[in-house]
Structure 1
Amino acid sequence: MDLLIAQEIELHQYYTRHNRATIERLLHVEFSEVGMSGTRYNLDSIVAMMGEEDRAQQRVHSQSYCCNTLAPGVCLLRYQSALVDEEGEACNFAERCSIWVLTDEQWQLKYHQGTACAPFELV
């Protein structure tokens, strides 16, 4: 579970989101996502979207990780996230889930979903 959490957090980082080799290591070729807005993404569209992101004054805060094994080599990682600005103000609260699959000895993110939720206490 610690490795999956570390890789999930790595995907929250600006430098990761602009590094094609790292993205290809972390995201499965059949990656898909349903974002908080309901927008659907595939690998090509998420890479394009991340490439257009500016270095934000906000960071992703994530907490309350829980991991369930769905099958050998398949794990569901659930957690909460929020964006936090330089003053410590949080917004864009979400419940998130990611399905990670083990391929060639490497865990890769195959599916991700974010669902907007009520604000929660950051820990």
Structure 2
Amino acid sequence: MTLQYFSTIKDKEVALHRPEIRSDLTQLVRLIHPSFIEVGYSGKVYDFESITQSLTQQPESDYQIVASEFEYKELSPSVILLIYKTERIDNAGNISRQAMRSSIWIREAGNW
């Protein structure tokens, strides 16, 4: 995988942490695959419909999500596993909810 693809995937993943993207169904549909599934921090399982509904209904938060330590593994030429760390930082600078995350990105019709 070229560095360009890694950068594109990383940028799309980080976009999903931004409040203006999380609250915009059009943007979420563009970024989240229809067969999406996630096991959340709490252990709750989300599919495409439940995650888009949950994200678009979230109230404004007093924290930002910061992602770091990105790594990737090419599973096939069109499937990438992205692994990274997240943490929440509130307006006072307090860090909470540190977690390791992973996502799988699929390239279809030339788009990740």
Q: TM-score, normalised by structure 1?
A: 0.84
Measured in 1, the distance between the counterparts of 2:111 and 2:25 equals: 17
Structure with greater helix percent: 2
Q: Is the 8 A contact 2:83 2:100 kept in 1?
A: yes
Residue 82 of structure 1 corresponds to which residue in structure 2?
87
1:80 Cα deviation after fit: 0.4
Alpha-carbon RMSD: 0.7
> In the alignment, which residue of structure 1 is the partner of 2:78?
73
Instruction: State how 1:24-103 maps to structure 2 within 5 Å.
Output: 24-103=29-108
- Equivalenced residue count is 107
Unaligned runs of 5+ in 1: 108-123
> Structure 1 residue runs of 4+, over 6 Å off?
none
TM-score normalized by structure 2?
A: 0.92
CA distance in 2, matches of 1:29, 1:43: 6
Q: Percent identity?
A: 28
